Each structure stands twice: as structure tokens, then as C-alpha cells.
């Protein structure tokens, strides 16, 4: 028995659930995690005496639809690995673009708040890549905050985490220079467009909004931003591609200026940001 034979067998099993390219990628993730081998070892027909039980168990979970990030308890984000698990949203590539835009646009000493921090991937990455920033993360989920604290400790990132619900009216936040959020934005009616493993395993609280009120989190966060941002402070959102103009209009109507809509690498509306227009009271 050799690695190539096992690789082909696993890929064949997974193609009943995943596209061929994704199936191949998933098997390599498993091989790297449980066998400490790479693609070169597979191509070289490296022999293997037996399949480790942990590898077969992981494969069984994949076949049952569990996301590989939850199986391995980690997900890549901006060149680092972040711990994730059930109850914590898996970081997406689009969110890396949000972080990149913030880092391109801002330098120097600023106080930053990430609302709905989840695994902490946004807040921790900003803290590590932007040394002069003082970063905090906020989330309603104790489970998510526990994971975020683990991730911060792993990279020795200095952050403050806050347990709070962004849908509450009065959060009594301190003042910040920049706020960022990737809030829930998937419509209930879009469930049928999503992969079954996402629906079954990822936290609904971090994904879905009612069809009749798709901007509920954006509206709430805008109000908090108006109260807690310094004059000319910045607010950044990741958005559902279907609601770019609506989010822009909402921010304009709430008194934000210089509001901009940014497309992601795939040409889809993905980020909206602007500045709060006010003076110190």
C-alpha cells in the first residue's frame, strides 16, 4: 500500500460531495495533518504500512459533511492559522481583503474595535500587522470569545475582548478611531444556495439575517459608531454582494461622509466604508 493509492481512493470518495479540485485539496490537508507528508511524497509513491485511525476518523467526518476546518480545528487567515470550532464562524478569503484595505488606508496610533469578532481573525491580524494600533474585539458569544482569546495568546497579540450584543441600544463603549465589522448578512432565502456542510455545522447566529430586515446589524452598528467614534472616525463593513448600494445609502443617511463601495477580487461588491461626520460635544 502506498500514499498514491490511498490518495486516489479518498479523492474518489469525496467527489460524491465536493468538486474534484476541492476533493484533492481536502485529501492533501488530511495527509499533511495526520501523515506529515506533502504532494511530493504522494507523487513519489511513498509506501505506508497502515492508515492511522485518526486519519480515517477525519475522513469519515469529511464524508459526513463536517467542514475540514472544524475537523482540524484550524483555518488559515492572512498568513496565519487560527483556531476554530463549532460555534465559531470559519474565516473567509473575502475578509482578508477587508483587513488588507484597512492596513493600506491607515497608519499610526489608532484605537480600533472589531464588532462581531468571532475567532478574532480580524482583530488579531490588525493588532499584529499594525503595531501602533490599540485593538479590541466584541462578540455576544462566550464560545467565540474563548476561541478568540486562545488565538490572541497563540500569537502574543495584545487585545481587549468585550462580551456584548451589537443589537443592544446602549453599549456604553469608549471612544474609537476606527470600527470594523463582518456581521451576519446571509438572507434566510439564500439557504438553498449554500453548501450543506455550512448549513449543518457553522453557527447560524453568525451567518443569517431575516429576509425582511437584511441590514439590521449594519443599522445597529452605524448607531454605535456615531456614538463611539471620534470625529472623522472610520467605519468599515464587509457586506452581502446584493446590498452594496443599500449599505452605502444607509451610511449616507446616517450622516457618514466619503462613503465608498469596494469590490472584491472576484468583482463583487464586498466592502463599504466611510467617515462619521460630527464634532466633539
Q: Which segments are annotated as binding site?
A: 116-120, 139, 182-185
What stretches of 112-215 show up as alpha helix (H) in DSSP? 121-129, 142-154, 196-201
Pairing mode, if any, of strands 111-115 and 134-139?
parallel
Here the cell at position 90 is 470559519
Detail the residues annotated as belonging to a binding site for substrate: 182-185
Q: From CA 230, how far away is CA 253, in angstroms rounded?
A: 19
Q: From CA 123, how far away is CA 248, in angstroms rounded?
A: 24
Neighbours of 265 (CB within 10 A): 10
Pairing mode, if any, of strands 111-115 and 176-181?
parallel
Are 108 and 172 contacting, i.e. CB atoms less than 8 angstroms apart?
no
Detail the residues annotated as belonging to a binding site for S-adenosyl-L-methionine: 116-120, 139, 182
Neighbours of 11 (CB within 10 A): 17
The phi, psi pair for 200, rounded to 5°, reads -80, -30
- Match 482540524 to its residue by C-alpha cell: 72
Here the cell at position 107 is 497608519
- Nearest to residue 140, comparing CAs of 122, 160, 162? 162
Amino acid at each position: 500500500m502506498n500514499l498514491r493509492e490511498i490518495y486516489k481512493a479518498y479523492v474518489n470518495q469525496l467527489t460524491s460531495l465536493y468538486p474534484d479540485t476541492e476533493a484533492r485539496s481536502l485529501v492533501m490537508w488530511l495527509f499533511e495533518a495526520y501523515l506529515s507528508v506533502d504532494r511530493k511524497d504522494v507523487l513519489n509513491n511513498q509506501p505506508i504500512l497502515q492508515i492511522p485511525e485518526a486519519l480515517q476518523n477525519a475522513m469519515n467526518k469529511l464524508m459526513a459533511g463536517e467542514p475540514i476546518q472544524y475537523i482540524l480545528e484550524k483555518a488559515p487567515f492572512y498568513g496565519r492559522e487560527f483556531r476554530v470550532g463549532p460555534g465559531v464562524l470559519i474565516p473567509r478569503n473575502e475578509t482578508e481583503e477587508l483587513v488588507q484595505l484597512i492596513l493600506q488606508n491607515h497608519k499610526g496610533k489608532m484605537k480600533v474595535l472589531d464588532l462581531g469578532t468571532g475567532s478574532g481573525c480580524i482583530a488579531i491580524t490588525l493588532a499584529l500587522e499594525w503595531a501602533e494600533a490599540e485593538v479590541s474585539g466584541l462578540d455576544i458569544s462566550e464560545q467565540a470569545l474563548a476561541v478568540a482569546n486562545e488565538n490572541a495568546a497563540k500569537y502574543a497579540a495584545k487585545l481587549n475582548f468585550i462580551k456584548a450584543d451589537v443589537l443592544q441600544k446602549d453599549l456604553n463603549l469608549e471612544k474609537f478611531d476606527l470600527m470594523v465589522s463582518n456581521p451576519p448578512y446571509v438572507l434566510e432565502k439564500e439557504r438553498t444556495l449554500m453548501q450543506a456542510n455550512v448549513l449543518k455545522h457553522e453557527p447560524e447566529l453568525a451567518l443569517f439575517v431575516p429576509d425582511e430586515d437584511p441590514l439590521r446589524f449594519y443599522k445597529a452598528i452605524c448607531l454605535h459608531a456615531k456614538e463611539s467614534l471620534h470625529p472623522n472616525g472610520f467605519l468599515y463593513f464587509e457586506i452581502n454582494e446584493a446590498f452594496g448600494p443599500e449599505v452605502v445609502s444607509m451610511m449616507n443617511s446616517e450622516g457618514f461622509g466619503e462613503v465608498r463601495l469596494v469590490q472584491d477580487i472576484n468583482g463583487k461588491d464586498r466592502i463599504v466604508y466611510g467617515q462619521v461626520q460630527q464634532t466633539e460635544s
